[in-house]
């Protein structure tokens, strides 16, 4: 009997599909609906997510030594730990005994972690340090047991601002190279160094992770899906750019009635210190999708960072964290202003829920009807960029 051949991206995308995606955006077709299904998701788990620098967590979730935070990206269980040396480490959260998740809930101030199943115990650096009863009722060692290669598997980890990235296969280019274009994008506009974590919130989209990411890739849908965001705007200077296939930036300088950048929506009017540089060029607000599943939204006086983490082929866990300069992140006098910002962002994401649900459902059937998707050259370069980047990475696997 011969083993079944493992599938490849060529089983899902023909040369014609790839050529159609690569045409100039106004003539291009999006990817077929089958790439939003379970079989392609399995391929992404193997050939995409492990191979890239993927944003998956926040350093502020583990502020002190001994803090640990488990996350999951497309089925890959990652454990972030802050060591006694304050260094952040990442491991595959897979016990080296019989594969239980070692840490299943966030925890604080620990010296070690005992797996819940048989209590194999690992230190903050992932080393297996105890195996209770391994040799019998009173024997915590067993000379007949080969204890080599039983430490937690480390994963390459890197931090940018508060965002934690992992590269699971350890073969991606150096992180400094990966992140440099993002720094270059934002540096002319903002001083992000004073930002401090404030509120955070989470939601779930019942749709494939790529559809969830699509809901933030364009400004095109804003006036139709989120009309409150452009209330009072008399001019919306929009630009978008795709940078190195890694970052998609949409940006705007919304001019509100008679007061520039003083719109009521999204906290422009609140009295937080500015992070926008005095000599910043236009535009004055940016939404950068940190491909594939991260985002940073910068405004003149605050920022948000978000994650769109795939949880199966048809579900995406979304988390956003709000940041403000220095003490304003926790100043009680600004608590109401911060709360208003959270409420307004939750409203925006709730408005995108039906798109995630119904676009996902339609992707499951549209191939049978021969219906492709289209993109507009003015607004949706970023959508094309996202899919080209995904395909190029997976084809190189």
Q: Does 218 bind Fe ion (CB under 5 A)?
A: no
Report, in Å, the least distance between residue 48 CB and ligand FES: 28
Q: Quick one: what does residue 352 bind among Fe ion, ligand FES, none, with the CB cut-off 5 to 8 Å set by partner type?
A: Fe ion
What mask, x for binding ligand FES by CB under 6 A, covers residues 29 to 68? ----------------------------------------
Under rule CB under 5 A, which residues in 166-185 are in contact with Fe ion?
none
Q: Quick one: what does residue 304 bind among ligand FES, Fe ion, none, with the CB cut-off 5 to 8 Å set by partner type?
A: none
Q: Does 91 bind ligand FES (CB under 6 A)?
A: no
Choose the binding region for Fe ion from 42-50, 158-166, 284-292, 351-359 (rule: CB under 5 A): 351-359
Q: Does 113 bind ligand FES (CB under 6 A)?
A: no
Choose the binding region for ligand FES from 93-101, 170-178, 353-361, 371-379 (rule: CB under 6 A): 93-101
Report, in Å, the least distance between residue 95 CB and ligand FES: 3
Q: Does 115 bind ligand FES (CB under 6 A)?
A: yes
Question: Within 13 A of 105's CA, how many CA atoms are on the CB side?
Answer: 3
Among 120, 122, 320, 324, binds ligand FES (CB under 6 A): 120
Nearer to ligand FES, 120 or 324 (CB): 120
Among 10, 27, 63, 117, binds ligand FES (CB under 6 A): 117
Q: Does 123 bind Fe ion (CB under 5 A)?
A: no
Kindly report the number of other CB atoms within 10 A of residue 330's CB atom. 13
- Tell me the three-class secondary structure of 328-373, residue by residue: HHCCHHHHHHHHHHHHHHHHHHHHHHHHHHHHHHHHHHHHHHCCCC
Choose the binding region for ligand FES from 118-126, 147-155, 252-260, 317-325 (rule: CB under 6 A): 118-126
Residue 209: name the closest of 287, 286, 294 by CA: 294
Among 123, 218, 352, 380, binds Fe ion (CB under 5 A): 352
Q: Does 97 bind ligand FES (CB under 6 A)?
A: yes
Q: Catalog residues that contact Fe ion under the rule CB under 5 A.
A: 215, 352
Q: Catalog residues that contact ligand FES under the rule CB under 6 A.
A: 95, 97-98, 100, 115, 117-120
């Amino acid at each position: 009997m011969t083993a079944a051949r493992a599938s490849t991206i060529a089983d899902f995308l023909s040369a014609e599909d790839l050529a159609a995606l690569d045409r100039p955006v106004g003539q291009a077709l999006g990817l077929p609906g089958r790439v939003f299904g379970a079989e392609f998701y399995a391929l992404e788990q193997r050939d995409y997510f492990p191979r890239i620098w993927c944003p998956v967590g926040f350093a502020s979730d583990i502020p002190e030594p001994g803090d640990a935070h488990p996350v999951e990206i497309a089925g890959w269980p990652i454990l972030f730990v802050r060591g006694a040396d304050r260094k952040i480490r990442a491991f595959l959260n897979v016990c080296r005994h019989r594969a239980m998740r070692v840490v299943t809930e966030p925890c604080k101030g620990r010296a070690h972690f005992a797996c819940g199943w048989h209590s194999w115990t690992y230190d903050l650096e992932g080393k297996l340090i105890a195996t209770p009863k391994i040799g019998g009722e009173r024997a915590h060692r067993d000379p007949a047991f080969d204890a080599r290669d039983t430490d937690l598997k480390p994963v390459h980890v890197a931090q940018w601002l508060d965002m934690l990235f992992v590269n699971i296969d350890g073969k991606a280019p150096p992180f400094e190279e990966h992140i440099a274009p993002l720094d270059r994008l934002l540096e002319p506009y903002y001083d992000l160094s004073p930002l401090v974590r404030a509120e955070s919130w989470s939601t779930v989209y019942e749709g494939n992770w790529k559809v969830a990411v699509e809901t933030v890739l364009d400004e095109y849908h804003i006036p139709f899906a989120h009309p409150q965001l452009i209330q009072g705007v008399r001019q919306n200077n929009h630009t978008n750019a795709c940078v190195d296939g890694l970052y998609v930036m949409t940006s705007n300088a919304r001019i509100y009635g008679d007061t520039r950048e003083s719109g009521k929506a999204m906290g422009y009017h609140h009295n937080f210190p500015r992070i926008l540089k005095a000599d910043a060029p236009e535009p004055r607000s940016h939404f950068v999708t940190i491909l594939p599943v991260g985002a940073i939204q910068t405004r003149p006086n605050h920022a948000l960072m978000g994650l769109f983490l795939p949880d199966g082929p048809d579900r995406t866990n979304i988390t956003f964290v709000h940041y403000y300069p220095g003490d304003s992140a926790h100043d009680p006098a600004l608590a109401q202003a911060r709360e208003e910002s959270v409420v307004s962002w939750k409203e925006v994401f709730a408005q995108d829920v039906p798109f995630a649900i119904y676009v996902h459902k339609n992707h499951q059937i549209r191939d049978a009807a021969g219906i492709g998707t289209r993109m507009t050259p003015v607004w949706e370069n970023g959508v094309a960029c996202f899919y080209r980047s995904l395909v190029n990475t997976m084809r190189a696997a």
